[in-house]
Amino acid sequence: MAETEAALRTLAHNVRAARIRAGLSLDELGRRAKVSKGALVALEKAQGNPNFATLVRLADTLGISVSALMEGSPEQRVRVVSADAVTPLWKGERGSEARLMLTTSGPAATEVWRWTLQPGEEYPSHPHQAGVVETVSVTAGRMVLVVDGTEHPVEPGQTAAFDADRAHAYRGSGDEPCHLIMTVHLPPSPA
């Protein structure tokens, strides 16, 4: 419980700081990110439980990564992150999950995600900001990547890359869980 409260306090601080840096009021951030002002007020007070889609919309609107909203100040140059030390940001009804492992620093950050997709389970993603590129590398099982309504099967050992500023989805296929590593390459932050 203390870990969750600490994570909410960090998230609250980071959202407020990013909003102020961007020069946005709560009303304007809410309008642009399609999040109610009440939810933003609660979030900035470290209350509530924002879902994954809300975090993605806020990050996209603020022009930063999801993990930049969630991580504290860097303490080391080398970070080693174990999958079981990272809470899933999305869990499907059939046992699928997505874990944001880390985000690289610098003007053009990259998020590294570890996904498990159960057969037939799908995660639909809204379009990201212009300039975002995603890659998916399947390590076991099979998946179908759907971009603009077109299905692209991705087999073990294959990697797909696409511009993520369009509607897209990830779906497990076959008879066994699909394991994949996804990277989200963010465009350089404005100076």
Q: Name the residue type at position 35.
A: V
Q: Give the C-alpha separation, 113 to 102, whole Å.
A: 7
Q: CB neighbours of 142 closer than 8 A, spacing ≥ 6?
A: 153, 154, 155, 156, 172, 173, 174, 178
Q: At residue 11, what are phi and psi to the nearest 5 degrees?
A: -60, -45
The CA-atom distances, in angstroms, between 71 and each of 49, 96, 117, 155 are 16, 23, 25, 33
State the distance between the two ends of the chain, measured CA to CA, in whole angstroms: 38
Q: What is the pTM of this model?
A: 0.65
pLDDT tens profile 87-132: 898 999 999 999 989 888 767 788 999 999 999 999 999 899 899 9
pLDDT tens profile 134-151: 999 999 999 999 999 999
The pLDDT confidence band at residue 191, using thresholds 50, 70 and 90, is: very low
3-state helix, strand, coil in the chain (%, to 5): 30, 30, 40
Residue 86: is it exposed, middle or buried by C-beta count within 10 angstroms (0-12/13-18/19+)? middle
pLDDT of residue 114: 96
Per-residue pLDDT at 77 exceeds 60: no
Strands 110-117 and 159-163: unpaired
Closest listed residue to residue 9, CA positions, set 39, 45, 52 = 45
Residue 22's SS3 state is coil
Per-residue pLDDT at 70 exceeds 50: yes
Contact (CB, 8 A) for 179 and 116: yes
Contact (CB, 8 A) for 15 and 63: no
